[in-house]
Amino acid sequence: MKKEVLPLSPRFKILLSDFIKKNILISESQGIDHTLIICFVALLSIGLIMITSATLDYALDEKSNPYYFITKHLIYLSMGVVLSVIISKIKLSFYYDYGKYFLLFSFIISLIIFIPGLGKEINGAKRWLDLGFITIQVSEVSRLFVMFWISGFIVKHDVNKSFNKCLFMIVALSLIILYQKDFGSTALLVFTFFSLMLVAGLHLKYLFSYISLAVLAAIPLILYVPYRLKRLVSFMNPWDDQSGGGYQLIASLLAFGKGGFFGLGLGSSVQKLSYLPESYNDFIFALIAEELGLFFSLIVLILFSIVFFRIIRLANKSSDNNLRFASNLSFTLGFFITYQALIHIMVNTGLAPTKGMGLPFISYGGTNLLMMFIFIGLLIRIQIENRQQISHAVKRGY
């Protein structure tokens, strides 16, 4: 008997179907953006190295243990890895369906720190929740929770019709955060909110009107609060108050000047020896510039740029796959990371008034580092659900 030979078209369809099933209908782990993950690992590794360099002498003087800060940082890194894995397993529908509860919780945790015994005051600001085994900066958590609700709310409702309600929630939470003396977190939340509204389709006339009102509202918040006004004056001319308000900025600029193009060498910083306050946190970019130079500083900027564009690419991909909540959440996370990095770098280089805000993935700091790992877990989950959406579409087609 002659063996039946299929016509070219059916044979090609079978081969194509087999190829798609093997290469597209793949496991969740194969749907991950490896470039994005590599950038995250690179930034975390830079942070580990620079925190080690910045804290060895300081920890020996202050804690009698040169490895005090690096040990705590390693603990947070380990916790963060576990946390990101757990978050990556939670379906995005959980955040979407329970958005109103996340909104409520964002206000509860922001207000609970004012209860005696729960809130912890550091440097005159009461913005930390003391749980005994860990201290949490509540604004880091609350601003993500409120954006969970907003990301879902504008999926269910037209963005132009629902904008005022979203804005009301942002203003209410911002006022609480401002009362915690955290102007930087407020600015980060407002920047991220307006950016999300813009990409979600808010009419430009509304956008510019409300941005103008936000700027006008920020002026008295700066001019009539003495320590903020002092920071602004020191920013305009730090050399007039070299030992006071301008001290941090001058020390930071000196670090950039000493570093030159290739830096003084890892561990060779002079400014970290009690000259540059918070060199392992709020001014770690200046430390990178001093020890590793302009060349390596540009590499850090390139890594953050890649992270931003890969996340925006993921957001657009989610939109194409009709995953609107995933798209909004991707934009939100991308804006949070990028704006925080920009604020930190601008403060360190004298392009913005001094504000205590760490560099994402790199600076020392438990809450912010854990939040970055939550962001990683969410981004991985978004990638997984995009892959699942494509897989389901292929299954229906074949």
Structure confidence at residue 19 as a pLDDT band (50, 70, 90): low
Higher pLDDT: 138 or 128? It is 138
Q: What is the pLDDT of residue 23?
A: 44
What is the pTM assigned to this prediction? 0.88
Higher pLDDT: 213 or 315? It is 315
Structure confidence at residue 180 as a pLDDT band (50, 70, 90): confident
Residues 37-56 have pLDDT tens digits of 999 999 999 999 999 999 99
Once rounded to an integer, what is the mean pLDDT over residues 55-68?
88
Tokens standing for residue 90:
């939670």
Once rounded to an integer, what is the mean pLDDT over residues 278-290?
90
Angstrom distance (rounded) from CA 233 to CA 249: 12
Query: 133: which residues sit within 8 A by CB, 6+ positions away?
Result: none
Structure confidence at residue 208 as a pLDDT band (50, 70, 90): confident
Q: What is the pLDDT of residue 394?
A: 58
Q: What is the pLDDT of residue 26?
A: 39
Phi, psi for residue 65 in degrees, rounded to 5: -145, 105
Residues 378-397 have pLDDT tens digits of 999 999 999 888 766 655 65
Q: What is the pLDDT of residue 395?
A: 57
Print burial letters for 110-136: b (CB count within 10 Å at least 16), e (below 16): beebeeeeebbeeeeebbbbeeeeeeb
Residue count (the chain): 398
Burial of 224 (0-12, 13-18, 19+ CB in 10 A): exposed
Instruction: Decide: helix, strand or coil at residue 169.
Output: helix
Q: Is the pLDDT of residue 204 over 90?
A: no
Closest CA to 177 of 165, 190, 167: 190
Side by side, which strands form the sheet with 125-130? 119-122, 125-130, 135-137
Q: How many CA atoms lie within 13 A of 336 on its CB side?
A: 27
Which residue, chain included where needed, has tokens 């389709």? Answer: 201
Structure confidence at residue 63 as a pLDDT band (50, 70, 90): confident
End-to-end CA distance of the chain: 31
Angstrom distance (rounded) from CA 258 to CA 263: 7
Residues 84-106 have pLDDT tens digits of 999 999 999 999 999 999 999 99
Instruction: Decide: helix, strand or coil at residue 125.
Output: strand
Q: What rounded mean pLDDT belongs to the chain? A: 86
Higher pLDDT: 390 or 253? It is 253
